[in-house]
A = this chain, B = another copy of it.
């Protein structure tokens, strides 16, 4: 098969080989470049960076609306901080990048996450319950020395995220924050980016190092594997005890702070956006985050060029007045067909073709990226473009929802589980326990069935009926089992 060049579509079909399709589309659509040659560190090109910037904008807006304020913490963490909470450092030790000694009396790590700098600051900034809650975040790059195979955007050694670190006066408020974080994931990742998820309270053996519990967001990839997106953690008083971070409560008594953390990795969520919505022609970007929402391709001859371009610029103005991001592709050297392919590859929601015929009837030809429908509409009707954008995004979201919902299967024995996860689904089963005593059954799931116990739904109480599908003891939980990235 001859290699297709940019503007000629993709070589691999998404259905046939998702993994190769993903690798091809992120390079051809100019999201990333892997040729710098540093394992786990990638170059994000302008098209990818612009999408990420738009994703950040929605996310930060929602976080700020919920009372979070920005900060900038150092990218390095002194060893004495990083090692203060014993479970935390035990979990993170193998993943830490350390700086070479600079001859000063302090060992420094590149931050893998920032609990151990926020908590000592809470200690300084919070005196009494009046200073609470304190809800902070930073947009940051973090570094984890993953020794497994890295995959661009999905699993890297550096990723771009927002980390929220919040402090509260009670466990109840902290737990409410965990639910609020799940709501933020719903409002932004699902409602705006169109990526559905299952909020999973992770089993004891799979929580964040140092947390009381963790809720991860599990999203299906097209191949049926699960990828963890934003997770939120109830730290309880673990970090505040390690750092002696106290406050005076309403009874004027000293008490340790209750803290939480929430970490949406925007570069990783982009992987889900691409994987969820894209097709064999390339990316399909939600209208809400596409750097170009409408591309206009004027089609002209030497004879009518002036007139066509004049009218094109009027259409552009009309759309810009509606606060829509428009690009006119009037490059003279490319044929319209080439341009169509290019902008389909890049995932632009709407394409306007405007030539002699359209001009005569005061119309445009509108191509819609997801449905690939082409139709003529009156220029004046473009004033509905925002609504069309909302409908576009709703279609993407609903399609993703359907895919996701259809992949949960109730299973009653090991064979059914195996069949489920091998066909790219998640098995819902009765299980003995997600506390420590359940780990043996979880290990059996891994070794015998090739799946992971992802946890229990965090936003719904599901009551098990019957016995643990592995050990046969009375079940206490309904857990989900799937294959993970």
Which residues in A have some Cβ–Cβ distance to B below 8 Å? 33, 35-39, 41-46, 48-50, 52-53, 69-76, 78, 81, 97-100, 102, 104, 106, 108, 110, 117, 120-121, 124-125, 130, 136, 138, 141, 143, 145, 158, 160, 267, 333
- CB atoms of B121 and A74 under 8 A apart: no
- CB atoms of A158 and B76 under 8 A apart: yes
**Which of these, B70, B74, B97, contacts A41 with CB under 8 Å?**
B74
**Nearest residue, chain B, Cβ from A68:** B46
Q: With A33-B121, A99-B98, A141-B141 in contact, do A43 and B104 touch (Cβ < 8 Å)?
A: no
- CB atoms of A78 and B37 under 8 A apart: yes
How distant is the Cα of A50 from the Cα of B72 in the complex, in angstroms? 10
Residues of B within 8 A of A37 (CB): 78
**Nearest residue, chain B, Cβ from A267:** B72
Residues of B within 8 A of A333 (CB): 130
- CB atoms of A41 and B76 under 8 A apart: yes
- CB atoms of A99 and B97 under 8 A apart: yes
For the complex formed, measure the closest distance between the CB of A290 and the CB atoms of chain B, giving whole angstroms. Answer: 15
How distant is the Cα of A254 from the Cα of B160 in the complex, in angstroms? 37
Residues of B within 8 A of A49 (CB): 69-72, 138
**Which of these, B69, B74, B81, B120, contacts A42 with CB under 8 Å?**
B74
Residues of B within 8 A of A100 (CB): 97-100
User: Interface centre among A45, A74, A75, A117, by most B CB within 10 Å?
Assistant: A74
- CB atoms of B75 and A36 under 8 A apart: no
Residues of B within 8 A of A130 (CB): 333
Residues of B within 8 A of A141 (CB): 75, 141
Q: With A41-B74, A141-B75, A158-B74 in contact, do A35 and B124 touch (Cβ < 8 Å)?
A: yes
How distant is the Cα of A5 from the Cα of B117 in the complex, in angstroms? 25
